[in-house]
Structure 1
Amino acid sequence: MSLIVQKFGGTSVGSIERIGHVADKVARFTREGHRIVVVVSAMSGETNRLIALAHEIEDRHPMPREMDVLVSTGEQVTTALLAMALNKRGIKAKSYTGSQVRILTDNAHTKARIREIDDQRLHADLDNGYVLVVAGFQGVDEHGNITTLGRGGSDTTAVALAAALKADECQIYTDVDGVYTTDPRVVDGARRLDRITFEEMLEMASMGSKVLQIRAVEFAGKYNVPLRVLHSFQEGPGTLITLEDKLKMETPTIAGIAFNRDEAKLTILGVPDMPGVAYKILGPIGDANIEVDVIVQNVADDNTTDFTFTVSRADLPRAEEILDSIAQKLEARGVRADNRIAKVSVVGVGMRSHAGVASQMFAALAEVGINIQMITTSEIKISVIIEEKFLELAVRALHSSFHLGKEPVDESAA
């Protein structure tokens, strides 16, 4: 008897008919003898609808605490409906909100992080034969305030529950049948990966791949939770996300191409080049809970520097407002903002043992006339910032250059 955590996204539960389909799938697993915990998102479009209502009242900065109370209701609706559908099919089921489970988080509203999970009640109900239907995306802080985990937070809920319950597998059901070498909507020849390492998936998620939320992959890697991405409405093996040493096939140099349109660039011009200036710029940005991604600093001959960094587009207005204030204090020449950029990344653990990946990437982009604005690297990825209008051309060029449409050769079988 296996304990499985299954997560279904908004598309999977987007209508009563689809909720019924999910109930049929969960019932089948239950009748096969598995113990099941289901984590669900809000019905497709519901979170956006709730956010739009909030912005009708307060256009610029709705109160974060009240936003969490508002948007958390979407998942609660889905949990109740799925529990009803399961009980109608003769499967004992209970719905839980994040606070009922007591998914304890910090108090960073709209971007909360999970601290611990009280699994006693869940184990008791599992032992009594119940399927547990848990609202994803939400928790509660130490003062009892409802919190939410940010976009895609239901993935994190599922993996965190799987870790706490020591589940045999965490299955993420979505509208794709696995993790691809890149987005199939951009590249016709994109190929589904049978397996990918936690490290590669973490980089792809952080660089813009929308299959899984980055914190979900972090949890899975930290606690070694077997993680599988599957299609909600099609049968198939999906993609297994696992440890590097569990991969059977010779690891290819590049696993995939990730990209992100949700990028904006800010530059503060003519800042005095002196110790501590980076902190004076980024400290207030961090204090506003704005995440900074790529950073470039260029020092001029007149002992000034132009300091450039990227943030998400949603954070751009607030970040620009803060940076304007900083520029006045530092007597900088001004601030420039650009929300027409994108990030493209090549990712692969094989980069550790293969030279020339960067030169091949830059050559492929140069061949199609794409200028690189910023570059950042890690041990298993290289990312570049380019003009957004060239994004899809860049992805296709890189996918072709690294031959990602071809099945890798299993050299161990030779």
Structure 2
Amino acid sequence: MALYVMKFGGSSVGDTERMKRVAKRIAEKQDEGHQCVVVVSAMGDTTDDLIDQAKLLNAEPPAREMDMLMTNGEQISIAMLSIALHAIGRKAVSYTGWQAGFRTEPVFGKARITDIRPEKVKQSLEDGAIVVVAGFQGMTEDGEITTFGRGGSDTTAVALAAAINADVCEIYTDVDGIYSTDPRIVKCARKLSEISYDEMLELANLGAAVLHPRAVEYAKHHKVRLVVRSSFTHNEGTVVKEEVSMEQGVVVSGIAYDKNVARISILGVSHVPGVLAKVFGSLAEAKIDVDIIVQSGVLDGKADFSFTVALSDREKALNVIEGLRSDLPFSEVNSEDNLVKISIVGAGMVSHPGVAAQMFDVISKEGVNIKMVSTSEIKVSCVIDGDKLGEVIKALHTAYQLDTEEQVFVGGPKDRR
């Protein structure tokens, strides 16, 4: 007998029929002799619908109240799934994130887990129940409800698996596993049988939506065996683990993209010590993540530099920079959107020179200019105009010999969380 944590995303529980199918899938796992803890997201587009309704009332709703609102989607899901399990003769109990023991830092919208106290979960398992836990949510020590941000249900599942020493954490989604790129763009994408934590973490951070970066971080830190598979088929999924065998001739494992990109440029800044610290320190205090940073040459004691932030943070970042004008004079600040960051990732890149040059060549042959570049040992990222995203990804996928003849199975709309 093994202990499984099974996470189902929003598309997997999008309506009552899919809810019944998920209940049957869980029952099959229990019939194999295993204990089951299930983590679920809100049904379908529930969360997006709640956000849209809130913004009809207030264009800038308070973060605390938004967390109070958005956690309702998951609470509906856990109750519905528990009801579905009871309907097929299974003992099940549903818990909110805080009932399951999740404690978080006092940050609304993007809270991090500080502690997990899973006594209720363990007791229910001992009582023979299937435990259904709401993803994406927790509670501060002083009783405030918080959410983990997009992808938070993945984080809930992996963190809970670590806390209860689960044997496996399975992430069920609408595709058969982790692919070399988005199968909605490249139909001949290659399904990976396994991938390392480091490669998956890079892909997740670079825009691959199949797993949330924090979930991969938890899995790596706690050595959680992580499997990504489809909730619509019984096909073998992709195992995420410490080390993987290198496939002969495969240097790049995956290609990710991120459309949520804006570039901000600050022009005519005095080239003196402390300038970058001032700018990026202020952005950090405002909880704005900065990605790629590029500084140009110095002319007459002045320098220009550019950096990227999430498109959703662009206005907030511009306001922060304008607030620095009196302490940090500059001639101009501007921003650019309609950008995308395309990244190649692979552990084999470390020992293969020329991988980046090949990427630049492929992009140039598509008639696309590269605006910014960032590299690490196992990835290369390029910021380009978003108009030819599909063409560039397909060209890169072919160039790095990732195409297959197999047809990708996609079961439904992409999971939101």
TM-score, structure 2 as length reference: 0.95
Structure 1 equivalent of residue 3 of structure 2: 3
Structure 2 equivalent of residue 168 of structure 1: 167
Deviation at 1:323, TM superposition (A): 1.6
Question: Do the aligned residues in 2 keep the contact of 1:273 with 1:304 (CA within 8 Å)?
Answer: yes
What's the secondary structure of 2:160's corresponding residue? helix
Deviation at 1:301, TM superposition (A): 1.7
Question: Do the aligned residues in 1 keep the contact of 2:265 with 2:334 (CA within 8 Å)?
Answer: yes
Q: 1: distance between equivalents of 2:246 and 2:271? A: 51
Structure 1 equivalent of residue 351 of structure 2: 353
Q: Which amino acid is 2:177 matched to?
A: G
CA deviations over 1:42-68 (Å, ceiling 9, x no partner): 001000011112211220x32111111
Q: Which amino acid is 1:214 matched to?
A: P
What's the secondary structure of 2:370's corresponding residue? coil
Deviation at 1:161, TM superposition (A): 0.5
Deviation at 1:248, TM superposition (A): 7.0
What's the secondary structure of 1:295's corresponding residue? strand
Structure 1 equivalent of residue 45 of structure 2: 45
- Name the stretch that deviates more: 27-36 or 362-371: 362-371
CA deviations over 1:70-101 (Å, ceiling 9, x no partner): 10010000000001111111111000001111
Q: Which amino acid is 2:175 matched to?
A: V
Question: Do the aligned residues in 2 keep the contact of 1:95 with 1:132 (CA within 8 Å)?
Answer: yes
Q: 1: distance between equivalents of 2:349 and 2:61? A: 44
Structure 1 residue 33 and structure 2 residue 37: aligned? no
Q: 1: distance between equivalents of 2:125 and 2:378? A: 40
CA deviations over 1:322-375 (Å, ceiling 9, x no partner): 222223542211111111111000000111121111111111112222111111
Deviation at 1:249, TM superposition (A): 4.5
Structure 2 equivalent of residue 299 of structure 1: 297
Q: Which amino acid is 2:57 matched to?
A: I
TM-score, structure 1 as length reference: 0.95
Q: 1: distance between equivalents of 2:296 and 2:191? A: 40
Deviation at 1:396, TM superposition (A): 1.3
The structure with higher relative contact order (CA 8 Å, sep 6+) is: 2
Q: 2: distance between equivalents of 1:297 and 1:85? A: 57
Structure 2 equivalent of residue 368 of structure 1: 366
Q: Which amino acid is 1:124 matched to?
A: Q
Q: 2: distance between equivalents of 1:250 and 1:187? A: 22
Structure 1 equivalent of residue 259 of structure 2: 261
Structure 1 equivalent of residue 398 of structure 2: 400
Structure 2 equivalent of residue 224 of structure 1: 223
Question: Do the aligned residues in 2 keep the contact of 1:258 with 1:346 (CA within 8 Å)?
Answer: yes
Percent sequence identity is: 46
Structure 1 residue 324 and structure 2 residue 302: aligned? no
1:15-414 pair list within 5 angstroms = 15-59=15-59, 61-244=60-243, 246-247=244-245, 249-250=247-248, 252-406=250-404
CA deviations over 1:191-216 (Å, ceiling 9, x no partner): 11111111111000100101011111
Deviation at 1:124, TM superposition (A): 1.2
What's the secondary structure of 2:143's corresponding residue? coil
Question: Do the aligned residues in 1 keep the contact of 2:254 with 2:344 (CA within 8 Å)?
Answer: yes
Q: 2: distance between equivalents of 1:209 and 1:236? A: 21
Question: Do the aligned residues in 2 keep the contact of 1:126 with 1:132 (CA within 8 Å)?
Answer: yes
Question: Do the aligned residues in 2 keep the contact of 1:198 with 1:242 (CA within 8 Å)?
Answer: yes
What's the secondary structure of 1:293's corresponding residue? strand
Q: Which amino acid is 2:124 matched to?
A: D
Question: Do the aligned residues in 2 keep the contact of 1:76 with 1:135 (CA within 8 Å)?
Answer: yes
Deviation at 1:251, TM superposition (A): 7.7
Q: 2: distance between equivalents of 1:229 and 1:109? A: 28
Question: Do the aligned residues in 1 keep the contact of 2:270 with 2:302 (CA within 8 Å)?
Answer: yes
Relative to structure 1, the CA distance from residue 182 to residue 18 in structure 2 (aligned partners, 3 Å threshold; closer, same or farther) is same
CA deviations over 1:83-126 (Å, ceiling 9, x no partner): 11111111110000011112011111100011111022211111
CA deviations over 1:293-331 (Å, ceiling 9, x no partner): 111111322111112111111111111122222235422
- Name the stretch that deviates more: 247-256 or 64-73: 247-256
- Name the stretch that deviates more: 73-82 or 111-120: 111-120
Question: Do the aligned residues in 2 keep the contact of 1:268 with 1:327 (CA within 8 Å)?
Answer: no
- Name the stretch that deviates more: 23-32 or 398-407: 398-407
Q: Which amino acid is 1:310 matched to?
A: T
Question: Do the aligned residues in 1 keep the contact of 2:13 with 2:44 (CA within 8 Å)?
Answer: yes
Equivalenced residues, count: 405
Q: 1: distance between equivalents of 2:378 and 2:129? A: 43
Q: 2: distance between equivalents of 1:324 and 1:334? A: 10
